[in-house]
Amino acid sequence: MSEKLERTFVAIKPDAVNRGLIGEIITRFEKRGFKIIGMKLLKPTKEIAAKHYEEHYGKPFYESLINFITEGPIVALAIEGINVIDIARKMMGSTNPQEALPGTIRFDFAQIKECNVIHGSDSPESAEREISIYFKPEELFEAKKTPEDYFVEKYGHIE
């Protein structure tokens, strides 16, 4: 895997917000070295949810997905880091928490697939699309430089 600076979208879902897991989940991304460049607490409308999950339209679980994500507030996050899309998804674990590996967010905090506490973009295209649903460009902030960032700028990669 080559190193590339990316942005991804992460949503802490209503079940996790309701259970008070926001700080615990965000801490995992920050401890990994990823930067939060946008964050909002909001209750998605049906229209926002429909845009977010448009690729699932017509599937048997679509309505329950929309109902779940709109039942309470979520925390919408734009996160930046090296290979953040793939790494964040590994940190989240399998969509079905019963198949997730120990130490992943879904293994540690979820019990069933329908209430799996977190969503993350699965590709650069999805990340860009999903970030634009929840954030205006002026709501995203440049990540503060870290020693790792300077190393990447100077040498072009991290060993």
Distances in whole angstroms, Cα of residue 115 to Cα of each of 20, 32, 36, 65: 14, 24, 24, 10
Exposed / middle / buried, residue 51 (Cβ in 10 Å: 0-12, 13-18, 19+): middle
Going edge to edge, which strands form the sheet with 35-42? 35-42, 74-82, 5-12, 118-120
Output b/e per residue, 108-124; b: 16+ Cβ within 10 A.
bbbeeeebbbbbbbeee
Residue from 52, 56, 119, 157 carrying the catalytic annotation:
119
Question: Does residue 117 come out as left (phi exceeding 0), alpha (psi in the -120 to 50 range) or beta?
Answer: left
Tell me if residue 52 is catalytic: no
Alpha-carbon distance 135 to 43, whole Å? 14
Catalytic sites, residue numbers: 119
